[in-house]
Amino acid sequence: MIAIFLIHANLYSGIVYSQSVDKYPSPRMGDVPAETIKRLREIYEDNAFNTKSFQGAWMPDGSGYMVLETQAGTDLQTLVNYDLPGGKKNVLISSSKLLAPDMAGSVRIRSFSVSPDGNQILMEAAGQKNGEDKTSYWVLERKSGKLQKVEGGMSNTISLDGKSILFTYEGNLYVYDLESDSKIPVTRNPGSGSITNTRANWSSDSRLIAYVQSDDSGVRSRSVLVPGDPSYPEVQSDKFARVGGTIPSLRIAVTDAAGKETRWISIPVPSEGYYLGQVSWAGNSKELLVERHSRFRDKREFYIADVTNGAVTKIYEESDPAWVIASYGNNTGLEWINNYSRFLVLSEKDGWRHAYSFSRDGKDQQLLTPGDYDIIDRLKADDRNGWFYFNASPDNGTQKYLFRVRLDGSGKPERITPLNQPGTHEYNISPDARWAFHTWSSDITPPITELVELPGHRVEQILEDNNELKEKIKLLNLQAKEFMKLDIGNGIVMDAWMIKPKNFDPSLKYPVFIYVYGEPHGQTVMDAWGHAMADYHRVVADLGYIVVSIDNRGTPCPKGAAWRRAVAGSLGPLSTEEQAAGLKELGRLRPYIDLSRVGIWGWSGGGSNTLNAMFRKPDVYHVGIAVAPKPQPHLYNAWFQEIYMKTPEVNPEGYKNSAPINFAEGLKGNLLIIHGTGETNTHIQITEGLVDRLIELGKQFDYMTYPNRDHGIREGKGTSLHLRIFMVRYLLQNLPAGPR
């Protein structure tokens, strides 16, 4: 059952009908046209516009790749290997071979991984036992063809000598010995306790295991209702590290494969706690690399620890008053080059995200990518041929392309992606850097995945073309996003897009519906297929709206560190000002934009920015739909919020100015708040405080909750479709569609 709270008592009053225009549907007040419902059902229930993707795994030496293939019309899978070059196909195993004696029905290979020498394949299979889901694990030896049923869990990895499997189960680490068919506990903490042991990896000699131990015994618990008997619901306690509260304590251990002798790595431990980035072996079985992030992520350090004598040496450190490592983590970690004598890091210390090469001791530094542009992603160092591959888009922050530069710092970056393919490009580069799985899409081009040879980008094979989807969308004559730049002064130029309705008439004025996120964790303006719920927004546009999205400063656009860090200290105020300024500029540039009829909506951080828009700019925005917002940021989780705002104790004004709840008295328009009661991210109690505040202020609004749904509000049959229809209905009721 869906709980609905209609706090807006006069929902249907004051509605002004748009002029009758035959081009657009003219539903009765509150009705959603049948054609709109049909299209939404195709998107959210029939999955008619879902894309197909290619999921291949490289052989460790780059000599080929493996992929799961399903026989047409059956559930039968085969794991196959394709040699490169040439593409010779070798069938490795059928899923039917993984049916254990005590299991019934068909079996699916859920995942697989390859041993470092490429000879062994570890598979996780899913089937049925006595009507219940059952997971089994198998190792196939390629050379001999031997198939062995083994034990496994999470994060399964085969040792470099191929003799053992390391895995995590219920917070503990285990080693499964393939020769003796026996399981050895490496850690022995209580399975239901506060200590978990994860992120384990083998040393190069397969004798030692490094891992991270987390202890959340000091973290407070919050009570959560467990769905069950409506009259007598059960309650469970979940650990939740809130802003300013205690976070889990971490430490790093090295143990032998039998778990008999454990050595703890001694790195400085600040009283407020810290986080860990990369933890891995530093090219041998004696030294361990440890990346430590400060609690606020405004400082990071790399250490090399000698596991034989406990000596710890700092090889790199970096700090920034805003942050060094953001929530999206592009800068984290390092990559070893020159046989572990040097390493690559990404840093924004000169104002742009650039690649630097350092000597192993950190004393010698070399900038590899000078210039006023950002690296978007670090992809791969081709140590053998002396190249570093990365993604960038120096001329357009909405797109992404492959580049490479010399590891010795000589020469200029070279673009590898063909110039005649505008849009967004993703690359999965082979270990030897000779091949790549290349996926290209744009706003109007569904993704195509190819096997390409580097650096010439020669197409060896089309792996997935999505031709069926391409033919389908040709018949629909979909409206493309129109990308634009909005100059709001003071050197600030924001990327934006808009979707116009079909049969658009530029001589008329159209209501505007803005989709906002505006926070540091993501962009809404990207030239990529399906990005920012494009399918949904095209449906809304065709009702007679112009749908718009804008990326303000603070979003992770590749426009320099100053752009991204402009919001440091307080999320909300700057984005609200710049979104409103962008809308005003759009209205100046495009006379068909009706600034007297503006709606805005967003999810999560976008929900918060929707609240800020409605409360702080009530004369600009007339209708708002805030989904899963966080109107009280001090109640959000420490890991995310403290990167950008630290804590209320350190930054009281920042939290005060950021919180939408503190500006609720400004509400004038029609506001709908939607939340799942089973939220594990932006807990519903964060929103309930705002609900109480609006009631106290005598503000009329609408409030919809979806029982036991989490942050994505998708659990339960029909939920996704219901939510979208509900939002469209609210929009039609309160911001009538069609031009004037």
Mean pLDDT calculated for residue range 42-57: 95
Query: Is there a domain that residue 100 lies in?
Result: yes
674 in the same domain as 630: yes
Tokens read off for 253 = 């251990």
What are 273-283's pLDDT values in tens digits?
999 999 999 99
- Residue 425's pLDDT is 98
- Residue 131's pLDDT is 75
Helices assigned H by DSSP within 219-364: none
Number of domains in the chain: 2
611 in the same domain as 496: yes
83 in the same domain as 31: no
Given a cut of 60, whether residue 13 has pLDDT beyond it is: no
CA-CA-CA-CA torsion for 69, 71, 76, 80, nearest 10 degrees?
A: -30
Query: Is there a domain that residue 79 lies in?
Result: yes
Backbone angles phi, psi at 198, to 5 degrees: -140, -175
543 in the same domain as 510: yes
Portion of the chain with pLDDT greater than 90, in percent: 89
- Residue 619's pLDDT is 98
Whether the CB-CB separation of 77 and 91 falls below 8 Å is answered with no
What are 166-217's pLDDT values in tens digits?
999 999 999 999 999 999 999 998 877 899 999 999 999 999 999 999 999 9
| Number of residues that make up the chain | 740
What are 434-458's pLDDT values in tens digits?
999 999 999 999 999 999 999 999 9
Distance CA 665, CA 347 (A): 42
Of residues 30 and 717, more confidence is placed in 717
* C-alpha dihedral sign at 523, 525, 529, 533: positive
pLDDT band at 244 (very low <50, low <70, confident <90, very high): very high
Given a cut of 60, whether residue 129 has pLDDT beyond it is: yes
639 in the same domain as 586: yes
Given a cut of 60, whether residue 680 has pLDDT beyond it is: yes
43 in the same domain as 116: no
Given a cut of 50, whether residue 20 has pLDDT beyond it is: no
Distance CA 264, CA 189 (A): 16
Q: Which of 222-231, 331-340, 639-648 has the lowest mean pLDDT?
A: 222-231
For the chain, the helix, strand and coil percentages under 3-state DSSP, each to the nearest 5: 15, 40, 45
Q: What is the 3-state secondary structure (H, E, C) of 587-606?
A: HHHCCCEEEEEEEEEEECHH
Query: Is there a domain that residue 602 lies in?
Result: yes
- Last residue of a domain, which of 112, 131, 150? 150
**Angle at which helices 719-734 and 34-44 pack, to 10 degrees?**
150
What CATH number is attached to the domain comprising 46? 3.40.50.1820
Distance CA 314, CA 547 (A): 51
577 in the same domain as 493: yes
Long-range CB contact pairs, 288-296, < 8 A, 24+: 288/210, 288/252, 288/254, 289/334, 290/252, 290/265, 291/332, 291/333, 291/334, 292/267, 292/268, 293/324, 293/325, 293/332, 294/270, 295/247, 295/270, 295/638, 295/642, 296/323, 296/642, 296/643, 296/646
Instruction: Tell me the average pLDDT of the chain.
Output: 93
- Residue 69 is part of which domain span? 54-150
For residue 106, what are the CA distances in angstroms to 112, 149, 289, 438?
A: 18, 17, 44, 32
Distance CA 108, CA 77 (A): 7
Whether the CB-CB separation of 241 and 637 falls below 8 Å is answered with yes
Mean pLDDT calculated for residue range 673-702: 97
Distance CA 261, CA 189 (A): 15
58 in the same domain as 47: no
628 in the same domain as 695: yes
Distance CA 507, CA 21 (A): 13
- Residue 75's pLDDT is 80
User: Which residue from 50, 49, 51, 67 is spatially nearest to 428, judged by alpha carbons?
Assistant: 67
- Identify the three-state secondary structure at position 544: coil
- Residue 24's pLDDT is 54
pLDDT band at 128 (very low <50, low <70, confident <90, very high): confident
- Residue 468's pLDDT is 94
- Residue 1's pLDDT is 33
pLDDT band at 106 (very low <50, low <70, confident <90, very high): confident
State in Å, rounded, how far the first CA of the chain is from the last one.
40
Write out the H or E segment, with its range, that includes residue 322: none
What are 513-566's pLDDT values in tens digits?
999 999 999 999 999 999 999 999 999 999 999 999 999 999 999 999 999 999
For residue 629, what are the CA distances in angstroms to 39, 242, 609, 679?
A: 27, 16, 8, 11
Long-range CB contact pairs, 711-718, < 8 A, 24+: 711/604, 711/628, 711/676, 711/679, 711/680, 711/681, 711/682, 713/627, 713/628, 713/674, 713/676, 715/676, 715/678, 718/45
Tokens read off for 3 = 């709980």
- DSSP per residue over 37-105, as a string? HHHHHHHHTS-TTPPP---EEE-TTSSEEEEEEE-TTSS-EEEEEEETTT--EEEEEEGGGG--TT-EE
Whether the CB-CB separation of 291 and 301 falls below 8 Å is answered with yes
pLDDT band at 23 (very low <50, low <70, confident <90, very high): low
Mean pLDDT calculated for residue range 461-467: 97
Given a cut of 70, whether residue 22 has pLDDT beyond it is: no
Given a cut of 60, whether residue 236 has pLDDT beyond it is: yes
What are 351-392's pLDDT values in tens digits?
999 999 999 999 999 999 999 999 999 999 999 999 999 999
- Residue 400's pLDDT is 98
Whether the CB-CB separation of 629 and 685 falls below 8 Å is answered with no
- Residue 8's pLDDT is 37
Of residues 662 and 9, more confidence is placed in 662
142 in the same domain as 19: no
pLDDT band at 25 (very low <50, low <70, confident <90, very high): low
- Residue 99's pLDDT is 81
Query: Is there a domain that residue 696 lies in?
Result: yes
547 in the same domain as 632: yes
- Last residue of a domain, which of 150, 185, 216? 150
Query: Is there a domain that residue 461 lies in?
Result: no
- Residue 190's pLDDT is 84
User: Which residue from 293, 355, 345, 279 is spatially nearest to 324, judged by alpha carbons?
Assistant: 293
CA atoms within 13 A on the CB side of 421: 19
Query: Is there a domain that residue 718 lies in?
Result: yes
What are 551-606's pLDDT values in tens digits?
999 999 999 999 999 999 999 999 999 999 999 999 999 999 999 999 999 999 99
Query: Is there a domain that residue 233 lies in?
Result: no
Whether the CB-CB separation of 516 and 600 falls below 8 Å is answered with yes
Whether the CB-CB separation of 390 and 379 falls below 8 Å is answered with yes
Distance CA 189, CA 706 (A): 38
- Residue 11's pLDDT is 27
Given a cut of 50, whether residue 145 has pLDDT beyond it is: yes
Sequence letter at residue 664 = A
Whether the CB-CB separation of 600 and 621 falls below 8 Å is answered with yes
- Residue 73's pLDDT is 77
In this prediction the pTM is: 0.93
- Last residue of a domain, which of 150, 168, 194? 150
Query: Is there a domain that residue 271 lies in?
Result: no
User: Which residue from 132, 70, 138 is spatially nearest to 100, judged by alpha carbons?
Assistant: 138
97 in the same domain as 31: no
Portion of the chain with pLDDT greater than 70, in percent: 95
